[in-house]
Chains A and B, each alone.
Chain A
Amino acid sequence: MNNLSMLKIVFIMLSVLMLASAGNSNADKQPNIETESFWIVLPPEVARHTAGYGIIKNTGEASDTLLKITSNAGAVMLHKTEIQSGKARMTHIPNIVIEAHSELVLKPMSFHLMFSDLSPVIFIDGSKATLFLEFEQSGIIKINILIRPNW
């Protein structure tokens, strides 16, 4: 084997190593989901629905998709209120992508959790409900949320 052939082999091996390294680098990119400031509005006793708010942050390097939300407080879905010409309109968001280094802010008159079939046992001022956020990549994230009046 002459020197030129040796060089070719070394070059090919280096290229393969570099490609493998790049591949691993992409595979290492993961989402990192964090939640903060979550709370649920204490509804009037006769109410059949209420809302929850908070922030879902993705501090990771890859996007993730929120697929499903469940809670012991009742049935819960992600909704979005939109104000158009002074009129509020609500839409159901079946799932939502949270990009890397971005956040989903749930607040009044915007994205929010809509609770129905409320559990009377859970909805007491100062009590806590459990929320399960199911993500495509991150799996199920469990958080405990304070229930309090909205004033």
Chain B
Amino acid sequence: MLNKLATLAFISLFSCSSFIVTAEQTLPVLSGVGGDFSAMDTNGEAVEFNHYAGKVVVLAFGYTNCADICPFTLGYLKRLYGGLSANEQQKTRIIFVTIDPEYDTPGHLKSFIGHFNKDFVGLSGSQEQIDYIVSLYQAEYNRLSVLNIPTQNIRRVNPKLFADDEQAKEDNASLYSHTVTLYLIDKQGLTRSLEYTGTPVEQFIKKIQQLINE
């Protein structure tokens, strides 16, 4: 009798510990974060997020006039992507969604993103489309001038003489504050983890591999 109880207890304990290990390793679905959306790719073609179904996606928000965070994030994503095998890279998409579609036209975005990796996907679109994507991912962005921060002081120390109105118009590009979260999305388009550039690359890679193998 005692032997049976001990065996049952051992089996129960083993089952529980297996469950705990499995539960720890399975990334939860973050319901309410993400979903399907329409945007414009860097070739100027309309694209649905569902187009990336079957791929593990790492999605980030940013803009090309960003000096610190966005280039740093894309450099981090380059290291992350470079840590995947060629086969894993084929099953993964790194997507950078601009929050400044007026300035970040598809062609401009393509050149900017391509500096980091030609495989990276840049998404632009109308302001309405971008705002919808931002809301889907519970992200945020604000134009700094809206926050009453004098962007002319941030942007330059010396007045610049403009050769023509075209250049002057270009210089009015805005600066933004924005969400810096990296969204890890599975092959079904479900958000499974929120990461940051502070996440050790090796740790992030393991999560991507886990979703690839699901």
Contact = CB atoms under 8 A, between A and B. Distances in A.
Interface in B61-115: 64-69, 71-72, 75-76, 78-79, 82, 108, 111-112, 114-115
Interface residues of A, number: 34
Contact of B75 (A45, A49, A116, A150): A150
Contacts of A92: 149, 153-154
B156 interface: yes
Interface in A113-149: 114-117, 149
Q: For the complex, would chain A's binding face be called helix, strand, loop or mixed by DSSP majority?
A: strand
Given A86-B181, A87-B178, A117 B68 contact: no
B177 interface: yes
B158 A75 contact: yes
B173 to A, nearest CB: 7
A88 B67 contact: no
A64 to B, nearest CB: 20
B67 A51 contact: yes
B157 A75 contact: yes
B67 A149 contact: no
B67 A86 contact: no
B71 A90 contact: no
Interface string A20-56: 0000000000000000000001011111111100000
Contact of A46 (B79, B111, B156, B179): B111
A50 B67 contact: yes
A81 B151 CA distance: 14
Interface of B: 64-69, 71-72, 75-76, 78-79, 82, 108, 111-112, 114-116, 140, 144, 149, 153-158, 160, 173, 175, 177-181, 196-197
The 4 closest A-B pairs by CB, nearest first: A44-B115, A150-B75, A49-B67, A89-B177
